[in-house]
Amino acid sequence: MKALVYEGIKDVQVKNVEDPKIINDDDAIIKVTSTAICGSDLHLIHGMIPNMPKGFILGHETMGIVEECGKDVKKIKKGDRVIVPFPVSCGHCWYCEHGLWSQCDLSNPNGEAGGILGYSNTFGGYDGGQAEYLRVPYANVGPTHVPEELTDEQVLFLTDILPTSYWGAENGGVKKGDTVIVLGSGPVGLLTMKWAWHFGAERVIAVDYLPYRLEHAKKYSKAEAVNFEDFDDTSEYLKDITKGGADVVIDCVGMDGKMTAFEKVETLLKLQGGSKSAIEMAAGSVRKGGTVQLVGVYGARYNMFPLGDFFARNITLKMGQCPAHAFVDPILNLISEGKFDATDIITHKLSLDKGSHAYEIFDKKEDNCIKVVLKP
C-alpha cells in the first residue's frame, strides 16, 4: 500500500510499504477514506519527539471502511464506516475505566503516557493512518460508527481536533460571561474559539501572527483578533484590553511557538523541549485567580518555566492529552443536529500522492493553508 512516512527532519515521502495485518484478536483493518495532517505531526518532522525511526508511517486523524476484523471484535464489522480516535486505549485498565483514555496503562510499553497512533516509538510504535489502510488495535474500544448521511469532512475531525478543542474549553472551565484568550489560530485554536462561545463566553480573543489565520478567526470563529507581532509586550496589551486579564487562557500553540535564539540552541542540544513563548504569554495575560489550559503539545523539560508567576497570582494550570473517546458521541450528536460545523477550517483537499507537498505548505504556512485533508 501507499503511505506517508518519516524519512528524516522535514523529510516526508510517499512510499510503498507492507499492508497492515491482524496481529491480535481484537484488531481491525480499515480502508482509509480520509485522513488529515495535524499540527502535532509537525513536532515529529521537526525532530522534537524522540524515537522516531525512518520509515515510520505518520498520521493520527483517520477514518474509513472496516475491511477486516479479528475474531474477538464485536463492536464493528466489515463494511462499517468509522472514525478512529487518536489515543490507543484498551478500555479496561484503571485509567480507561475512569475516563482517562489518553493515559491507557496497557497501550504503550515504551513509556508512562498512553499510546497514540502514528506518533513515534515513544508513544507505542503504532503505524499511523496517512496511508491506504490502517491497523486499529483494541477495535472494541476506539472506532465509532458515523452516520452515512454525514460527509467525511463533517466527521473526520472527531478523531482528534474536535474532542481536543472541546476538552480544552471544558477542562479550562469556560463558563457564561467569561473572557477567553485563545493563543494560536491554527485548526485547534479556531475550533476552541467556537467551543468557548458554546460554553457561554462573553468575549473571545484570538492571538496569532499570521494575518490570514486571524482573518479566519474573525470571520468564522467570531473572535477579536490580536497579532502579537504588533506589540512590544503583547501580554500587557491583552491585560489592558481585558481590564486585568482573561478569565481563561487556552494555549493551542505548544512547543512549536516562536523560539528565542537561546531556545533554538537549547532545543537542538536536547536541553529544552521547544518554545515556551505561549506559556509565558499565558502567564502574563490571565487574570489573578484565572485558569491557563495547555492544549498544544509540549515535549521534555523546560528551563526558566514561569512557575513563580503562576504561583504568586493564584493561577490554576491545567494540561494534558485529550481523552478523546469521552467526547466523540456528544460532539457527533451536535454535528448530526446541525449545531456545530468544523468544515470551514479545511483549506486544502489533496490526494495521498501529494502528501509531501501537503506537509510542506502546512508546515511553512503557505497558500493560506489551515487544514489539509488527504484522500488515499
Residue 308 is which amino acid?
Answer: G
Alpha-carbon span 307 to 291, nearest angstrom:
14
Alpha-carbon span 90 to 4, nearest angstrom:
26
pTM of the model: 0.94
Q: Tell me the β-bridge partners of 227.
A: 208
Alpha-carbon span 28 to 135, nearest angstrom:
6
pLDDT tens, N- to C-terminus, the chain (376 residues): 999 999 999 999 999 999 999 999 999 999 999 999 999 999 999 988 889 999 999 999 999 999 999 999 999 999 999 999 999 999 999 999 999 999 999 999 988 899 999 999 999 999 999 999 999 999 999 999 999 999 999 999 999 999 999 999 999 999 999 999 999 999 999 999 999 999 999 999 999 999 999 999 999 999 999 999 999 999 999 999 999 999 999 999 987 766 555 455 455 545 555 567 889 999 999 999 999 999 988 876 777 788 899 999 999 999 999 999 999 999 999 999 999 999 999 999 999 999 999 999 999 999 999 999 999 9
Which domains are delineated in the chain? 2-160+323-375 (3.90.180.10), 162-319 (3.40.50.720)
Strands (E) in the chain, as ranges, are 2-6, 12-16, 28-36, 56-57, 61-69, 81-84, 87-88, 115-116, 133-136, 144-145, 179-183, 203-208, 224-227, 246-251, 286-294, 316-319, 346-351, 371-375
